[in-house]
Amino acid sequence: MTPKSQQQISVLIMSTLAFTVCFAVWMMFAVIGIPIKAQLGLNETQFGILIATPVLTGSLIRLPLGMWTDKFGGRIVFFTLMLATVGPIWLIEQATEFWHFLTIGLFVGLAGGSFSVGIAYCARWYDKKRQGMAMGVFGAGNSGAAVTKLIAPAIVIAYGWTMVPQVYAAAMLVTAILFWFFTYDDPSHRVPSHVTVREQLKALKDPTVWKYCQYYSIVFGGYVALSLWMTKYYVSEYGFDLKTAAFLAACFSLPGGMLRAVGGVLSDKYGAHRVTWWVLWVSWVCLFIMSYPNSEFTVKTVNGPQTFHLYLSPELFTALMFTVGVAWAFGKASVFKYISDDYPHNIGVISGIVGLVGGMGGFLLPIMFGALVDLTGIRSSAFMLMYGVVWVSLIWMYTTEIRKLDMAGRRRKLSPAADELE
């Protein structure tokens, strides 16, 4: 194994570990938010704001972090970012008022910006044919959401929720130190020093970038939102205790993170377009079924009225959530394969833009979930909303990609004379 290969592997492993810890921290309120909700007497909308607040800063910071990664290199940016979150994580246990949690949550949320740093940092260590794999492996750090659901409830039950931020602060500090000693820097991966911020931000005018943002707002924004929401959903809808609810919610979060590497390999082999198209259709079908609320209706028959009950059992619901988690794992990888194919020289900026918009979906959706429950009283309204978002992406993809491919195929079948007539 060459020294460069050793550096590639070390960078990828340590970046994935660091991202896993950062993502676990980012999703922390999905578990500790439930006892905090009871402690403060919050309604559903306030709970949505509580769990989504860290996602706000983690999303907004992604664009500048992506730009700084292009400029200064991923190693120093990633390390500095992790160190900056240790103090705020530790301070969570000191909070006593709702606004305390929201303010500290904004600083803790910086951990979520690690994605746009690591994705560009790892991608540049690999050639184009293997970038999908590398970004997929790194993106598997999304499984930090499942780590939180498996570890945090046990800590809450044994020691109380205030112990969780103490453990996470220590884990973040240790991870940052290990990252610094086992990663490397390559100056050739940075953009030229003469490239200005204005030139980097020209990508905001590109409609293709915004289309990828829309895709990512589902496969990542939806993933973050449901990772935050599902533990509470299982508790409220099915009456499970915190530990059981978090475990079942992990059936969505774990494949949604771990299988991202598989999505990267599939995207390298079959192309980003084909993988994303099937991801959206699978999501559309599953979300349609999950959207239907627990219902009873009476039908007048020749034998008298008959009452029917439509209800998703916990087993069927979890199976659907697992399927959506797998699909979105593939989708998160395929969207970034689009980016590495179309924008190989400014991955950091483009990933920052796409990651920002996707993360904003993860911030806004939990708040909208809570507001919809408060307004309608229907818990499955969260999936109705996600179903509508998937519809938008399917239509956008059809009009800009599928239709163009169909037209190109028809043109190839036409004679040269027919081409001239056109």
Q: What is the pLDDT of residues 121-174, one digit of tens each?
A: 988 888 877 777 888 788 888 888 888 988 999 999 999 999 999 999 999 999
The most distant pair of C-alpha atoms in the chain lies apart, rounded to whole Å, by: 82
pLDDT of residue 280: 94
Exposure b/e, 178-209, CB count within 10 A at least 16 = b: ebbeebeeeeebbbeeebeeeebeebeeeeeb
pLDDT of residue 191: 66
| 419 is a domain residue | no
Q: 34 or 128, which is more confident?
A: 34
Concatenate the DSSP letters of all residues of 180-192 into one string.
Answer: HHT----GGGSPP
Q: CATH no. for residue 43?
A: 1.20.1250.20
Nearest to 56 by CA among 415, 412, 383, 358: 358
Q: Does the pLDDT at position 65 exceed 80?
A: yes
Let me know: does 382 contact 45? Beta carbons within 8 Å. no
Name 296's bridge partners: 309
pLDDT of residue 404: 67
Average pLDDT over residues 225-236: 89
Q: How many domains does the chain have?
A: 1
For residue 19, the SS3 value is helix
Domain with 71, as residue range(s), is: 3-186+199-410
Q: What is the mean pLDDT of the chain?
A: 86
Cα 390 versus chain centre, distance: 15
| 369 is a domain residue | yes
| 69 is a domain residue | yes
Q: Does the pLDDT at position 55 exceed 80?
A: yes
What is the C-alpha to C-alpha distance for residues 229 and 220, in angstroms, rounded to an integer? 14
| 416 is a domain residue | no
pLDDT of residue 421: 40
Nearest to 327 by CA among 386, 394, 271, 279: 279
Q: Does the pLDDT at position 193 exceed 60?
A: no
Q: Does the pLDDT at position 418 exceed 50?
A: no
| 279 is a domain residue | yes
What is the C-alpha to C-alpha distance for residues 117 and 402, in angstroms, rounded to an integer? 32
| 96 is a domain residue | yes
pLDDT of residue 402: 77
Question: What is the share, in percent, of the chain residues with pLDDT greater than 90?
Answer: 39
| 191 is a domain residue | no
pLDDT of residue 95: 93
Band the pLDDT of 420: cuts 50, 70, 90.
very low
Quick one: which H or E segment has residue 307?
Answer: strand 304-310
The pTM assigned to this predicted structure is 0.75
| 101 is a domain residue | yes
